[in-house]
Structure 1
């Protein structure tokens, strides 16, 4: 395991569990040579690509490299657990540095009867009979309870849609979503949704919500069924049509608000950013009309009409806080703020705690609810930062003297947030992927909190007031959190299979690859390792989510400009992307992909337009054309 266990008290230095073959000390780590393949093709789709040879000398992420990081590890070990070095020879490089889904994709494209034997067992969850669920299917989805499985087995999808998707495929798509994405950003209450979905009841489910959910969730299923990409487009269009037909009054429901967030998310991954912006705004507008979100006073909130109806309180808390969290994650990537005030209603789990207290009982909330509550508090801290940093007057503020003091105060709020986490949300072996994703978002927020000051000569080297370490500068905080992000990304890649079908872990990939491309302090081998790790992650995402073809091309262009990648690696990656675009995405919409979210995060500070994924992809394509002409 690669997780970090913080100390039981501040006098004991944090430790990390490393793979069993690794040493606890970096002093005795030998140099080792490995053969790895970047963007290797599956045997059934094309000849194997040449192997890239390089040495991984010593260990990845050696002990703290600056005094501030050491101070953070001692005084804030929950946020900054000590990163024990990992011996390179202990890592399964073939698993880490090759796409895990290319064999599955090839099998489906060629209509093979069975997937290749090399496919990882945890990826084989598809059913060979579209009308019959594989008996082992639910066993792989650890976040679904027996009650959830019972509800899912009762679902008749034809009660909710007339589109031609086999019932059990639809059920499996929904189940995979609930196991993966829902654990990170819930947009509705799962128990109430499944109850109504299985019983054909309209209170906490609707045909609009079902279509929007399938439009989103079918994308992650594309590696397991050749028609999933087409189903995603069909349900996406169907949900849009349903929404446009709803009248003003009948549209004001919790289900509609959840559906609009899902439509926004699908628009993002389909590369239709203007549509995404439209849907997130409509969803938040609905929430405001219902008194759920962005209301100025308690008297305007939904607390009054919800009082006395526990199920509706549960449903509203999930819908409101889920939309709030998604809006802040949207802001993190697009640098656009659409919400300012957190929901003025109970947090998820509050009603259950209150009802138990009335009966004199004490209950422990499930881990996924605890993750949701902690995430809501995290995004609440980030909300005012987003308004200031991404607002029209951000340049004026960030160039002013109070800006660094403001950032330092927010940083202490974030450190306190980590210290107040319940024990099972602390990074440790056995964490669920929702916990890891929460910590990825946490360090992404910290990195962006201090990123602007790295580009201002008068603040980049100023020491923070409240830390004792020498050179406690914004740059050192940035580097300390980037190192945590690298370890989190490595842990996610090592420990999760099905959960990596979710698009949400791309935040870690994008932030780490940005730092890696510009990292002048790490060894070349370590830089190459994380560069490959990120590119493989992006390729996997591009197999399911259309927009990541553009994002990957943009990242490749950044890497070329920074001299962080060899030309033969670029050519191989380009060939892989073309195959994905030509074969895997046949039959879906040919609309132009915008990809306006920020991919070059440093450039976004000074030139957000040219930092967008689509712009970077265009630059890479022009670069490729020139290279082709030069070769002729």
Structure 2
């Protein structure tokens, strides 16, 4: 996940030093590794329960020791817990991570205390390690907040990185050559700044006025232009080309984070292809291509949890437009992607179940067919002993007016109810 530098971590692990390594960090990495590596060697799953027990014990003992290594360990352990379906623990770890990051001055928010601990950044290695941890902590906490529709303003919001610690992205990449997911995380941070500004205005008014009436089109268009300007300034090797690395495909999905906020915003109102619906349709078509390409050509699709936000967006769009002749084809691709991810992460059973519930609700798929699909998903990963206990507070639709009804687990819980209702209706007509 890019929370730390692999070289310094391995050096300290071999030399039994605890500068860039710790027992908690090792066990947190083991938790996440057990999840992902199950897709390659299923028997890896056998050590997963022990890894989580050990990591939780070490977190309670070492999690708040005030070290940078503990920040990295808490971030990784939080992610592992959330994707394991241990949402309560994952959220608790993320909360403490946020408090410690603000206290150490690694990142700050609108409600941060003006007094923070002073970090000793005496060596170049520590400067690089601090920069990397700070970027990743910021990105992970932003992901946790945005995927649960937690307070975007008027409460503590993860804000800009401390300029005394963090170099700008270009300087950081030159200083610390780290391609892959870390590079994507840095780019994600740039997008998030624009999204926070957008959401600050769209959610500032608490009345029932529709967003289209309380947010000027000029504002939305301005944010859209900033994103285009940002994208045009990216490094040349960030372009999607044939046989590009898998992390670049993941990067291409970041535009979907901004998509819903710009559904009402044309770029040039007089152009034939600038109508909001045209922009939206083009975005969804691109997402279809990305999802298909990633699943078909990259084995990482079977264990990359960052695949999920794109699947959320695409599935929602497909169920909103059942007139699309290819909606069923792409929706089934999304379901199969969740099935693959469920093999590694118990939480994705409920994700698939929630979207099958939505499909039934919209009368897009028959109840019997959704039951068969869910049964296939469950049978594909019988090694999850407590899959029914996996819980997530993911929000499947960030613009839904009632947050509690937009949570994945709430929609998944309606699956059996809708199956019984459909069977009752069918019985009445026969």
Instruction: Show the counterpart of 1:610.
Output: 405
| 1:273 correspondence with 2:92 | no
Q: Secondary structure at the match of 1:211?
A: helix
Shift of 1:378: 2.1
Of 417, 436, 441, which aligns to 2:230? 417
Aligned residues: 418
Where in structure 2 are there 5+ consecutive unaligned residues?
none
**What are the equivalent positions in structure 2 for 1:559-598 lying under 5 Å apart?**
559-580=359-380, 583-586=382-385, 589=386, 592-598=389-395
1:512–1:351 Cα change, 3 Å: closer
Instruction: Show the counterpart of 2:45.
Output: 229
Kindly indicate whether the alpha-carbon contact (under 8 Å) linking 1:295 and 1:341 is maintained by their aligned counterparts in 2: yes
Of 242, 253, 257, which aligns to 1:445? 257
Q: Which deviations, in whole Å up to 9, do the C-alpha atoms of 1:23-46 show, x marking residues without a partner?
A: xxxxxxxxxxxxxxxxxxxxxxxx
For the residues of structure 2 that align with 1:470 and 1:351, how far apart are their CA atoms? 41
For the residues of structure 1 that align with 2:80 and 2:203, how far apart are their CA atoms? 23
Shift of 1:547: 1.0
CA-based RMSD of the aligned residues comes to: 3.1
More helix by share: 2
Shift of 1:566: 4.1
Q: Secondary structure at the match of 2:413?
A: helix
Instruction: Show the counterpart of 2:218.
Output: 405
For the residues of structure 2 that align with 1:597 and 1:555, how far apart are their CA atoms? 13
Of 145, 157, 166, which aligns to 1:346? 166
Instruction: Show the counterpart of 1:622.
Output: 417
Instruction: Show the counterpart of 1:383.
Output: 196
Instruction: Show the counterpart of 1:214.
Output: 30
| 1:205 correspondence with 2:25 | no
Where in structure 1 are there 5+ consecutive unaligned residues?
1-181, 355-363, 454-462
Shift of 1:215: 1.2
Kindly indicate whether the alpha-carbon contact (under 8 Å) linking 1:272 and 1:594 is maintained by their aligned counterparts in 2: yes
**What are the equivalent positions in structure 2 for 1:538-549 lying under 5 Å apart?**
538-549=338-349
Instruction: Show the counterpart of 1:327.
Output: 141
For the residues of structure 1 that align with 2:304 and 2:267, how far apart are their CA atoms? 40
Instruction: Show the counterpart of 1:285.
Output: 99
Instruction: Show the counterpart of 1:498.
Output: 300
**What are the equivalent positions in structure 2 for 1:168-183 lying under 5 Å apart?**
182=1
Q: Comparing 606-615 with 474-483, which one deviates more in the overlay?
A: 474-483
| 1:485 correspondence with 2:287 | yes
Kindly indicate whether the alpha-carbon contact (under 8 Å) linking 1:270 and 1:593 is maintained by their aligned counterparts in 2: yes
For the residues of structure 2 that align with 1:622 and 1:540, how far apart are their CA atoms? 26
For the residues of structure 1 that align with 2:366 and 2:53, how far apart are their CA atoms? 41
| 1:554 correspondence with 2:367 | no
Kindly indicate whether the alpha-carbon contact (under 8 Å) linking 2:24 and 2:55 is maintained by their aligned counterparts in 1: yes
For the residues of structure 1 that align with 2:31 and 2:57, how far apart are their CA atoms? 13
Q: Which deviations, in whole Å up to 9, do the C-alpha atoms of 1:37-65 show, x marking residues without a partner?
A: xxxxxxxxxxxxxxxxxxxxxxxxxxxxx
Shift of 1:400: 5.1
1:567–1:401 Cα change, 3 Å: closer
Q: Which deviations, in whole Å up to 9, do the C-alpha atoms of 1:339-361 show, x marking residues without a partner?
A: 4312113246735746xxxxxxx
1:615–1:607 Cα change, 3 Å: same
For the residues of structure 2 that align with 1:492 and 1:352, how far apart are their CA atoms? 26
For the residues of structure 1 that align with 2:201 and 2:344, how far apart are their CA atoms? 34
Kindly indicate whether the alpha-carbon contact (under 8 Å) linking 1:593 and 1:614 is maintained by their aligned counterparts in 2: no
Q: Which deviations, in whole Å up to 9, do the C-alpha atoms of 1:242-267 show, x marking residues without a partner?
A: 1212385xx11111111111222122
Q: Comparing 481-490 with 372-381, which one deviates more in the overlay?
A: 372-381
Q: Which deviations, in whole Å up to 9, do the C-alpha atoms of 1:460-490 show, x marking residues without a partner?
A: xxx6474441473444333222222111111
For the residues of structure 2 that align with 1:277 and 1:317, how far apart are their CA atoms? 24
Of 9, 22, 41, which aligns to 1:193? 9
For the residues of structure 1 that align with 2:336 and 2:379, how far apart are their CA atoms? 15
Which structure has the greater CA radius of gyration?
1
| 1:243 correspondence with 2:59 | yes
Q: TM-score, normalised by structure 1?
A: 0.60
Q: Secondary structure at the match of 1:341?
A: strand
Q: Which deviations, in whole Å up to 9, do the C-alpha atoms of 1:161-185 show, x marking residues without a partner?
A: xxxxxxxxxxxxxxxxxxxxx3xxx
Q: TM-score, normalised by structure 2?
A: 0.86
Q: Secondary structure at the match of 2:406?
A: coil
1:216–1:367 Cα change, 3 Å: closer
Q: Secondary structure at the match of 2:365?
A: coil
Kindly indicate whether the alpha-carbon contact (under 8 Å) linking 1:295 and 1:301 is maintained by their aligned counterparts in 2: no
For the residues of structure 2 that align with 1:374 and 1:301, how far apart are their CA atoms? 27
For the residues of structure 1 that align with 2:63 and 2:136, how far apart are their CA atoms? 24
For the residues of structure 2 that align with 1:319 and 1:499, how far apart are their CA atoms? 25
Shift of 1:312: 0.7
Kindly indicate whether the alpha-carbon contact (under 8 Å) linking 2:201 and 2:215 is maintained by their aligned counterparts in 1: no
